[in-house]
Amino acid sequence: MILVTGGAGFIGSNFVLDWLAQSDEPVVNLDCLTYAGNLTNLASLAGDPRHLFVQGDIADTALWTRLLSTHQPRAVLNFAAESHVDRSILGPEAFVQTNIVGSFAMLEAVRAYWKALPEPQAAAFRLLHVSTDEVYGSLAASDPAFTETHRYEPNSPYSASKAASDHLVRAYHHTYGLPVLTTNCSNNYGPYHFPEKLIPLMIVNALAGKPLPVYGDGMQIRDWLYVKDHCSAIRRVLEVGRLGETYNVGGWNEKPNIEIVHTVCTLLDELRPKADGTGYATQITTVTDRPGHDRRYAIDASKIERELGWRPAETFDTGIRKTVEWYLAHADWVAQVQSGAYRDWVSANYAERDTNTTGVISA
């Protein structure tokens, strides 16, 4: 059995679904069900005895102790995180609580559990911590891509909190010998992505006839990774990754945000053309850039390919088409996640911006 935190969120739920599609090994799924945690993502697992969902906070030490002693997992995979930069600017405390305090509580509980395991089980146990390329800071246009040895230079409350959690995980390995693995991924996209992020927001707003908001000049560059490729990389790292090591996971797809927006518009023009014959790109509008917006992220994923034989299966062209098709086929899911709380947050984020648009991008 494995225990997954944050398994009702975007990446976590995709991982749980992929895991159980390929394995009969059960999953205990711990998620607090904040705004981005959505049990609808896991509806296909209803009644499946291999999936046990537990609603709870990663910072709840007593809950950790009960779950670990009861279920005796061979591995813990930590997807739980507050992960939206704009939200971290408006309300950083939640990011400190979940990403730092929560990671500390997890590490303490897992350390005690691991220390009490019999030798064979202790030797086989793993804690895999899922992190982000944003901990490395921002790159200039001509800089080489981030490697695993790049200096940490986080520039937002979100990335700073994730950097802190990465440091804690590393320290628990070097101080206590805890058998940890860390992955730092680039921007994910794909099914079940909450529509405050760039790609799903562009799809949802385009179909609703709303403006497509682009920060500044739209030339912020990101490396894009299809979420199911990320899941396969995590499985590979869990299987054969070297203890204490960090592995960058990227899609080898550096693209500026404005190009992403135009690609989405072009696909929608093909797959769901507007009745009036106009293109969706006419809805693109620029908005005031967010504070401290990193200009470029780029992941060098050579290490995971060289050591573990992993490469992404999807190109950006194939992955983005699958993503747009999924959102077109799942309008009910989109409607369900666009709650009043989400709309309230959008209003707060735009309260001081010189725009009347009804969405936000984060990439």
Q: What's the one-letter identity of residue 252?
A: W
List, as one string, the DSSP characters of 98-135. IIIIIHHHHHHHHHHHHHHS-HHHHHH-EEEEEEEGGG
Amino acid at site 21: A
133 catalytic per annotation = yes
Q: Of 31, 82, 86, 134, which residue is the catalytic one?
A: 134
Q: Quick one: pLDDT at residue 289?
A: 77
Cα atoms in the Cβ-side hemisphere of radius 13 Å centred on 100: 13
pLDDT: which is higher, 300 or 348: 300
Of 113, 158, 226, 327, the catalytic one is 158
Rounded CA gap, 181 and 227, in Å?
A: 19
E strand or H helix at 213, and its extent?
Answer: strand 212-215
DSSP, res 96: I
pLDDT class for 348, splitting at 50, 70, 90? low
Q: How confident is the model at residue 333 (pLDDT cuts 50, 70, 90)?
A: very high
The pLDDT > 70 percentage for the chain reads 91
Based on its alpha-carbon atoms, the radius of gyration of the chain, rounded to whole angstroms, reads: 20
Q: What is the mean pLDDT of residues 91-115?
A: 94
Percent helix, percent strand, percent coil in the chain, to nearest 5: 50, 15, 35
- Check 31, 57, 82, 133 and give the catalytic one: 133
Catalytic residue status for 152:
no
Helix axes 198-208, 316-329, angle to 10 degrees: 50
SS3 97: helix
Q: Cα-Cα-Cα-Cα dihedral of 51, 53, 57, 61, to 10°? A: -70
Q: How many CB atoms lie within 10 A of CB 95?
A: 25
Burial of 331 from C-beta contacts in 10 A (0-12 / 13-18 / 19+): exposed
Alpha-carbon gap, residue 173 to 300, rounded angstroms:
24
Q: Which residue has the tokens 């693209």?
A: 255
Of residues 88 and 5, the one with the higher pLDDT is 5
Identify the three-state secondary structure at position 72. Answer: coil
Q: In angstroms, rounded to a whole number, what is the distance separating the alpha carbons of residues 55 and 45?
A: 16
Mean pLDDT score, 54-66: 97
Measured between alpha carbons, how far is 358 from 78 in angstroms, rounded to an integer? 32
Q: What pLDDT is attached to residue 88?
A: 63
Residue range 113-125, pLDDT digits in tens: 999 999 999 999 9
Q: Which amino acid is at 253?
A: N
> Which structure tokens are listed for 253?
């797809």
- Domains (ranges, CATH) in the chain? 2-188+227-253+293-314 (3.40.50.720)
**Active-site residue flag, 325:** no
Please provide residue 43's backbone torsions phi and psi, each rounded to the nearest 5 degrees: -60, -30
b/e map 122-153, b = 16+ CB within 10 Å? eeebbbbbbbbbbbbbbbeeeeebbebebeee
- What pLDDT, on a 0 to 100 scale, did the predictor assign at position 89? 76
% of residues, the chain, pLDDT over 90: 82
The band of 357, judged by pLDDT with boundaries at 50, 70 and 90, is very low
